[in-house]
Structure formats: C-alpha cells, structure tokens
Amino acid sequence: MFKNVIVRVPSQTVSEGITSANEGKPDYRKALVQHENYVSALTKLGVDVTVLAPHDEFPDSCFVEDVALCTSKVAIITRPGALTRRKEAELPDMKEALEKFNQNIETIKEPGTVESGDIMMVGDHFYIGLSARTNQAGADQMIAILEKYGLSGEAVPLKEVLHLKTGLSYIENNNLLVSGEFKNDPRFDTFNKLEIDPDEAYGANCIWVNGTVIVASGYPKIQKKIEGLGYPVLNVDTSEYRKIDGGLSCLSLRF
C-alpha cells in the first residue's frame, strides 16, 4: 500500500519540454487542470500528496518520477540522462521532501545515468531499463544500492520505447500490462500478461494505487481488460503530457 505521493506543479514553460511525440505543444492551462485532476484522483485513493512548487527553468520538472526512486527502505536520487534535466535531481525542495519521509538517502554518481521512468518495482525486486536515459553504469549503481538494503534488481535492455514503463506497468497480484517489444520478452513470462494493442500503446502506462488502477482517459480496451481482473479504475486525462513524452507514472513519486 502507498501512504505518500510527491508531485510538482507544471511550470509555465511546460510547452518547451523534451518531446519526440510530434503532437504539438501542450497548453499550459490545460496541463494545470489535468495535473489538478491527477492529484485529486490520488487523494481519493487514500494517500497524502506533497505538492512541490513549479520551476520555470526546468520545463520537464513536473515529471518527478525520473529524479528519484522511493522504496520501503531507501530513497535514491538519480542522475537523469537528459542533460537539460540533470539539475532537477539537485533541487533542494525535492531533497527536503525525500528526507522528510526517508532516513536513508543515496545518490547515483557520474558516469551513471538513471531516470526512474526506467524502473519498475515488483515487490522487493526492481527491473531497470537500459535506455537512452539510463546507462549500464547507472543500472549497476542502482542495483548495488538496492542490494545494500536487502532489495534486488536486474537490467532490461530496451530497443524501442523511451522508458521501461512506457511499455510495462505492474498492477500487483502478478498482473502486468505489456506492449510492443515486451510481449515476447521471456523475463516476464511468469506474469499474467495483459497484452496491449498497438493503437492503445500509450495507455499501457497505468498506475496501481491501493487497489485501484489509474488509467489514462481514452483507452477503453485497456480499461476493460483491467476491470476484467476485478480492479476498480479511475480515468485521468494526460493528453497534454503525452505531447511531451509523459504519462501517468511520470507525474508522481509513490511510496
């Protein structure tokens, strides 16, 4: 169960965020409303939400998931692979928020790079995607830190997606949403896999929060499959964040 969530309000410069989506620039006011609805959905599910102030100098800083990994035993401050995002991990308010909830704080060091959009938690085990943003040195450091605290991890090479959780979402009880390159990956054969159709690939990024699954609005086939497993579903519109390569999990740290 999750007790706490950290989010950051999108900045007025959010339209300048990194993107490969080719879907136009996000509208700041719409992004604000969608973020407020996202926080509201989380609050309904029984978590306390810490809301950090926007930082206009960092257009992507609303995607707080990438700058830290929060586990039951340690919080790990990452070193983002995107150069324009690297200093986000050093922002004092994020460090203060992490220290409020975690006695143990560790940090990824150069030459390692890690963005936690590449990390999927399954119990005490963490799958770490090797991507353009997360390198082998970063994954090795992350695994060493996890093992120091009695946790475990393994690296997963990526071929197509930006981040591991672009194409995978673990929704507990051994249920895993899979799309694209992960459908036939033997690493995930022990899971009950819910395969996502290519036309709903973006919707594969869902988040489980205390028994409910939050699903991006507009992906009815995914929602039906999740509801078929007995999960309640909440819909949140993230269309403005899709324009800058962001999804549901990117917008929060959950622990």
- Which are the catalytic amino acids? 163, 250
Side-chain half-sphere of 32: how many Cα atoms within 13 Å? Answer: 7
> Which residue type sits at 204?
A
DSSP string, the chain: ---EEEEEPPPTTGGGS-----S-PPPHHHHHHHHHHHHHHHHHTT-EEEEEPP-TT-TTTT-GGGGEEE-SS-EEE-B-SSGGGGGGGG-HHHHHHHHHH-S-EEE--TT--B-GGGEEEETTEEEEEE-SSS-HHHHHHHHHHHHHTT-EEEEEE-SS-SSHHHHEEE-STTEEEE-GGGTT-GGGTTSEEEEPPGGGGGGG--EEETTEEEEETT-HHHHHHHHHTT--EEEE--HHHHTTT--TGGG-EE-
Tokens 């819910």: give the residue: 194
Residues 6+ apart with CB under 8 A from 135: 81, 111, 112, 113, 114
